[in-house]
Copies of this chain bind each other. A is one copy, B any other.
Amino acid sequence: MPPSITSLTDHACLVVHGPDQPGLVSVIAALITRNKGNIISLDQHSSDPEDGGFFQRIVFHRQNLVTVMDDIRADLADTLGPYEMAWSLSDRSQPKRMAILASKDDHCLLDLLWRQRRGDLPVTIPMVISNHTDSVEDVRSFGVPFFHVPSQTGPDKSESEAEILRLLKGNVDFIVLARYMQIISSDFLEQVGVPVINIHHSFLPAFIGAAPYRKAKERGVKLVGATAHYVTENLDEGPIIEQDVVRVTHRDHVHDLKRLGAEVERSVLSRAVLWHAQDKVIRTGNTTIVF
């Protein structure tokens, strides 16, 4: 039987990256073999034949995986230590815990909740946090806790951010900003300690900042798009995970662009979330490798 997205008992995912060196593939494959793993899929990328970066993602099957995770981790530390590689090993039967931050617009939020319920996303959703209460009933009807943290008025958001941090701390593996219309401070990013994925409603780097659909209409573009990216200190400048576009015409007003774009936003965000949750995305500089 083929593996499903969400229940992969005895499947591990190993991600390794760092400076490319001859023999790495062989060393890593041998490690998996001696730990009785069978490689199911392997993606490898070298950014340059000489002096480039090495990026690898391996999914392997190992009976009774849970009983040997620590042994394999110890072996990885010993074996990869001399190569100065970064690595992570995850048990694919353990879904990542994803918090969603949202505002009034609910299309991305509801889409993620529904895909998760359908079994199309290998995540649990311990909480939704919003600065509005519009979606409270919808969210709870999915059996997901909803927390309302109103935005502070004024530029200082430290108190509301602190409350959000208290809710998140220790409870989540990554955060999704599903059309969350508050700017995240660099202080927040530093303290939260987990990856944060945002959906921007334009084809970045076009139309950075506010009101991208209005700007798109004014510029007369023939396609509008959406971009999912990791959040960094610089607004709309983080590493891009996924993008897509949809065709528009002169007949479409700004509200049509919003409607058509909303469809792209939810598709793009859901793919980015799926790939992140499957450990398929590796950050390198300000870009990503997506296996």
Contact = CB atoms under 8 A, between A and B. Distances in A.
A17 B46 CA distance: 23
Contact of A42 (B42, B110, B242, B254): B42
B49 A40 contact: yes
Interface stretch (A150-158, A193-201, A243-251): A243-251
Interface of A: 2-5, 11, 20, 22-26, 29-30, 32-33, 36, 38-49, 56, 61, 107, 110, 114, 118, 120, 137-138, 141, 203-207, 218-223, 225, 239-245, 249-251, 253-256, 259, 263, 267, 286-290
Contacts of A203: 203, 206, 223, 245
Contacts of A2: 48-49, 253-255
B287 A220 contact: yes
So how many copies of this chain end up in the complex? 4
Contact of A250 (B40, B249, B287): B287
Main secondary structure of the interface of A (DSSP, over half): mixed
Given A107-B118, A219-B286, 17 more contacts: A3-B253, A25-B29, A25-B39, A26-B26, A29-B30, A38-B49, A42-B56, A43-B43, A120-B259, A204-B219, A204-B221, A219-B240, A220-B286, A221-B243, A222-B240, A249-B290, A250-B287
A42 B25 contact: yes
B49 A290 contact: no
A240 B38 CA distance: 29
A243 B38 CA distance: 33
